[in-house]
């Protein structure tokens, strides 16, 4: 497991993602100053369990907008927030991508 400071930075960033927006593992890694650690961001979120302390983990997708395999509730949660999807089931990132307060 990564160091606690990394884990906390991931959690703090995910908590900031606004309703109706999504970001990627890579964007979170970039925002916390660890641009080469997108997979590690995914590991942190996977080990946290979905919905930890009401953290909006469902708002994090991969770089092509693909949802978490096997997490069927993720699409429903995003649809409830108005996030658009392509026919292939991926999020339309250009319509709802969040990059933080950059």
Q: Which of 102, 99, 89 is nearest to 23 (CA)?
A: 99
61 vs 49, higher pLDDT: 61
* Known active-site residue 96: no
Q: Please determine, for residue 54, whether its predicted confidence score (pLDDT) is greater than 80.
A: no
Mapping DSSP onto H, E and C, the string for 19-67 reads CCCEEEHHHHHHHCCCCCCHHHHHHHHHHHCCCHHHCCHHHEECCCCCC
Give the pLDDT score at 2.
72
Q: Which of 17, 40, 57, 67 is catalytic?
A: 57
Please, what are the domains in the chain?
4-96 (1.10.10.10)
pLDDT band at 27 (very low <50, low <70, confident <90, very high): very high
Name the percent of the chain in helix, strand, coil, to the closest 5: 45, 10, 45
Tell me what the mean pLDDT of segment 56-80 comes to: 95
* CA angle (30, 43, 22) in 5-degree steps: 50
Q: What is the mean pLDDT of the chain?
A: 92
């Amino acid at each position: 497991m990564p160091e606690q400071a990394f884990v906390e930075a991931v959690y703090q960033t995910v908590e900031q993602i606004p309703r109706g927006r999504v970001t990627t593992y890579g964007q979170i890694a970039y925002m916390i100053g660890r641009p080469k650690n997108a997979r590690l961001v995914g590991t942190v979120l996977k080990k946290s369990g979905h919905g930890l302390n009401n953290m909006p983990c469902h708002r994090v997708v991969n770089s092509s907008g693909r949802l978490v395999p096997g997490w069927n509730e993720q699409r429903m949660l995003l649809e409830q927030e108005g996030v658009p999807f392509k026919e292939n089931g991926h999020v339309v990132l250009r319509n709802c991508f969040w990059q933080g307060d950059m």
